[in-house]
């Protein structure tokens, strides 16, 4: 993975030292909260309902075991013994004391981490495919491109005060696992006519209160122009994006106002001015970055799936996990493992210090010391020898991470909601728990099949409720929590936004409503081969409305 050079190292240490001074001045009363707020937000420090929250950047979700151990250390020493994996592949701590934050930033800097680009109206942490570098359907490894974009965007002076936050995702695979259609810029690596790698550029996607699916801005961009073209998009946005109304400030609103042709034309005009400047990538920069992401030393003599014959036969729980949570790997004899940290009794995405340490150990033992945070709030061990899967699963089970529910109903994505968040209308985590408790039977879950469920505690959509096959949105009715139920969303190649089924449900009724939806699906699907999403697209909302609101 990428290793800091002297410049990177100096930068994060300097930043931590600066913030130490700013915190001291705040605690001594030399600066007010109004003065301090922009400074703390530039360092990922938010104020939640009961405490500060520190959001730590995990570029494209990739962590070394050493970094994971440091996160465990921070959770144990400075927080309440756990951290939270977010849908932007980052990590959050929910209970830091202000005076401890500088020490936390120092501890992060020691392992080449920081909290820059995790807040504010700048280009945020770049996200990617959690199976980057190992997926079989990969055209090219997206991580060198992510790293290039990270270096270009960090402290980019022109883009420090954009109209609003800006999110970029990159996928290098045929099948999009990075939700590129829901980002301000979505990049897909593709092959050009002569087999060279180029980029398809989407623009204007996003969630929040006005969800939009991104549109193609340029179908094929030679890769040497990646930075100049992104810079052109950012310039057009920076210049024409609305600054008068926070709710209309995202690039998706500009793209919609101009129309994609007009928008793309302005980008092309801007790009023509800068495409052959220093931003052009022909100095071997991509190759240099790619050298940080060369595949590990894979053994070439490992057995394949045949090594699992006996455990699969004799241990049905393992077989189910292997069927659902293990993804084919491009190196023979290896597998990529999606570790579900859900349905442990803890809130979705929460991982304790002991679990972090143990995952670091398992990464060292089985996966070349690397882990990936996914945008569905799980962890991936990317490079596990297939013959070790049974042993690994047994260890995961001891940690509470043995569930075979990857991308099933209890693999719930949820924002922190009203248990933590200042902006929330309603709790998300208690709803996640109530739903989990109704679906504890792994066999029933397997029967339901692939079904994503996403919960947000307010319209900001941090839990991506618009793109869950089932989405739940917390709303406020006269000071009480209510929940809008949505179905039919997808964040993949067939991206679509969920539609509201009908009247909202009270807190204690929403889990039951989800069960009714699932039961209706099971009773009326064309057969076990018709997944939930296909079923919804075929039958529409009516059968669900009948089941949910009968007799009203």
Partner 1 sequence: MKSFTVTANRTADGAVVYLRDDRQWTADIASALVRTDPAAMTDLLAWARAQQRDVCDPYPLEVQVREGAPAPVGTRERIRAAGPDATLRSLGYAS
Q: Which residues of 358-371 are buried (b: 16+ CB within 10 A; e: fewer)?
A: bbbebbbbbbbbbb
Q: Which is nearer to partner 1, 419 or 515 (CB)?
A: 419
51 binds ligand SF4 (CB under 6 A): no
CA separation for the pair 505, 390 (Å, rounded)? 42
Q: Site residues for ligand HEM, window 224-253 (CB under 6 A)?
A: 250
Point out which residues pair with 189 in neighbouring strands: 199
Helix (H) and strand (E) counts for the chain?
18, 21
Shortest Å distance, C-beta 185 to ligand HEM: 11
Question: Binding to partner 1 by residue 460, rule CB under 8 A?
Answer: no
Measured from the CB of residue 456, what is the shortest distance to partner 1 in angstroms?
A: 16
**Contact residue for partner 1 among 13, 20, 73, 80 (CB under 8 A):** 80
**Residue 343 binds partner 1 (CB under 8 A):** no
532 half-sphere exposure, CB direction, 13 A CA radius: 29
CB 418 within 8 A of CB 378: no
Q: Measuring CA to CA, how many Å separate 282 from each of 278, 324, 391, 404?
A: 9, 42, 46, 45
Q: By C-alpha distance, which of 472, 291, 449, 371 is closest to 64?
A: 371
Give the residue, chosen from 43, 92, 344, 352, that forms a contact with ligand HEM under the rule CB under 6 A. Answer: 92
For ligand HEM, the closer CB: 88 or 218 = 88
**Nearer to ligand SF4 among residue 109 and residue 497 (C-beta):** 497
Binding residues among 389-448 for ligand SF4 as defined by CB under 6 A:
415-417, 421, 423-424
Read off φ and ψ for residue 305, nearest 5 degrees: -55, -25
Residues 410-429 interacting with partner 1 (rule: CB under 8 A): 418-420, 424, 426-427, 429
* Backbone Cα Rg of the chain: 23
Convert residues 449-488 into a mask of x (bound to ligand SF4 by CB under 6 A) and - (unbound).
-------xxx-xxxx-------------------------
457 touches, from partner 1, ligand SF4, ligand HEM, none (C-beta below 5 to 8 Å by class): ligand SF4
Dist. CA 194–CA 207, nearest whole Å: 36
127 - beta bridge partners? 169
Residue 59 CB, nearest distance to ligand HEM (Å)?
16
Answer with the entry of ligand SF4, partner 1, ligand HEM, none that 458 interacts with (C-beta below 5 to 8 A by kind). ligand SF4
Q: Which is nearer to ligand SF4, 133 or 205 (CB)?
A: 205
- For residue 419, the partner it binds in partner 1, ligand HEM, ligand SF4, none, with Cβ less than 5 to 8 A by kind, is partner 1
Residue 48 touching ligand HEM (CB under 6 A): yes
H/E element holding 269? helix 260-274
Q: Edge-to-edge strands of the sheet including 91-93?
A: 45-47, 52-56, 91-93, 82-85, 350-352
Q: Which stretch binds ligand HEM (CB under 6 A): 149-157, 316-324, 413-421, 531-539?
A: 413-421
Binding of partner 1 by 74 (CB under 8 A) = no
- Using CB under 8 A, pick the residue from 19, 60, 82, 366 that binds partner 1: 82
Scan residues 52-71 and list those touching ligand HEM (CB under 6 A).
Answer: 53
Please report the DSSP string for 288-306 in residue order: HHHGGG------SS---GG
Nearer to partner 1, 100 or 411 (CB): 100
CB closer to partner 1, 433 vs 491:
433
Strand partners, 460: none
Binding to partner 1 (CB under 8 A): which residues in 378-417?
none
Query: Which parts of 190-219 interact with ligand HEM (CB under 6 A)?
Result: 206-208
Taking CB under 8 A as the criterion, the residue among 59, 144, 206, 347 binding partner 1 is 347
Alpha-carbon torsion 272, 278, 284, 288, what sign?
negative
Write the DSSP string, 80-134: SSEEEE-TTS-EEES---GGGHHHHHHHHHHTT---TTSSSSSB---EE-TTTTT
CB 286 within 8 A of CB 144: yes
Q: Is 487 in the site for ligand HEM (CB under 6 A)?
A: no
The dihedrals phi and psi of 420, each to the nearest 5 degrees, come to: -130, -35
Is residue 191 helix, strand or coil? Answer: strand
Show the site string, 113-152: x = touches partner 1 by CB under 8 A, - = not: ----------------------------------------
CA distance 16 to 19: 5
Residues that bind partner 1 (CB under 8 A): 26-29, 32-33, 47-52, 80, 82, 95, 97-99, 345-347, 350, 418-420, 424, 426-427, 429-430, 433, 479-481
Residues that bind ligand SF4 (CB under 6 A): 415-417, 421, 423-424, 456-458, 460-463
Residues that bind ligand HEM (CB under 6 A): 46, 48, 53, 86-88, 92, 164-165, 167, 206-208, 250, 415-416, 421-423, 460-462
């Amino acid at each position: 993975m990428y290793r800091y050079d002297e410049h990177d190292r100096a930068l994060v240490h300097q930043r931590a030292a600066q913030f130490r001074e700013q915190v001291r001045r705040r605690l001594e009363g030399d600066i007010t909260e109004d003065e301090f707020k922009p400074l703390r937000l530039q360092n990922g420090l938010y104020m939640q309902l009961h405490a500060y929250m520190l959001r730590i950047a995990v570029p494209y979700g990739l962590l070394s075991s050493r970094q994971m151990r440091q996160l465990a250390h921070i959770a144990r020493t400075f927080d309440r013994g756990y951290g939270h994996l977010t849908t932007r592949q980052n990590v959050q701590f929910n209970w830091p004391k202000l005076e401890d934050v500088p020490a936390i930033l120092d501890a992060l800097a020691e392992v080449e981490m920081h909290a820059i680009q995790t807040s504010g109206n700048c280009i945020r942490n770049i996200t990617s495919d959690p199976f980057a570098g190992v997926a079989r359907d990969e055209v090219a490894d997206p991580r060198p491109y992510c790293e290039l974009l990270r270096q270009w965007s960090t402290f980019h002076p022109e883009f420090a005060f954009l109209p609003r936050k800006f999110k970029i995702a990159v996928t290098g695979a045929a099948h999009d696992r990075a939700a590129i259609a829901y980002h301000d810029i979505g990049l897909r690596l593709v092959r050009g006519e002569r087999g060279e790698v180029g980029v398809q550029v989407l623009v204007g996607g996003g969630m929040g209160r006005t969800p939009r699916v991104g549109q193609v801005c340029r179908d094929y961009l030679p890769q040497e122009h990646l930075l100049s073209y992104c810079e052109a998009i950012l310039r057009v946005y920076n210049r024409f994006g609305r600054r008068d109304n926070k709710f209309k400030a995202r690039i998706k609103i500009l793209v919609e106002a101009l129309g994609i042709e007009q928008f793309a034309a302005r980008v092309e005009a801007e790009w023509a001015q800068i495409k052959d400047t220093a931003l052009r990538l022909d100095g071997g920069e991509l190759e240099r970055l790619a050298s940080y992401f060369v595949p590990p030393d894979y053994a070439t003599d490992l057995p394949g799936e045949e090594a699992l014959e006996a455990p699969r036969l004799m241990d049905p729980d393992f077989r189910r996990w292997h069927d659902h949570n293990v993804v084919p790997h491009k190196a023979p004899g290896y597998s990529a493992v999606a570790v579900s940290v859900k349905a442990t009794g803890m809130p979705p995405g929460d991982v304790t210090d002991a679990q972090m340490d143990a995952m670091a150990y398992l990464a060292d033992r089985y996966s070349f010391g690397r882990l990936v945070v996914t945008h569905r709030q799980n962890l991936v061990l990317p490079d596990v020898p297939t013959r070790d899967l049974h042993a690994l699963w047994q260890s995961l089970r001891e940690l509470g991470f043995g569930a075979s529910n990857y991308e099933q109903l209890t693999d719930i994505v949820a924002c922190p909601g009203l248990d933590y968040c200042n902006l929330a209308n309603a709790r998300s985590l208690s709803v996640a728990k109530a739903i989990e408790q109704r679906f504890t039977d792994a066999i029933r879950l397997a029967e339901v099949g692939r079904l994503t469920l996403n919960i947000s505690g307010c319209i900001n959509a941090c839990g991506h409720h618009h793109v869950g096959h089932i989405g739940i949105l917390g709303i406020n009715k006269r000071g009480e929590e209510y929940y809008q139920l949505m179905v039919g969303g997808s964040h993949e190649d067939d991206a679509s936004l969920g539609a509201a089924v009908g009247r909202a449900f009270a807190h204690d009724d929403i889990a039951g409503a989800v069960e009714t939806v699932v039961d209706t699906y099971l009773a009326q699907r064309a057969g076990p081969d018709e997944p939930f999403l296909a079923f919804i697209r075929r039958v529409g909302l009516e059968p669900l409305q009948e089941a949910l609101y009968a007799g009203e």
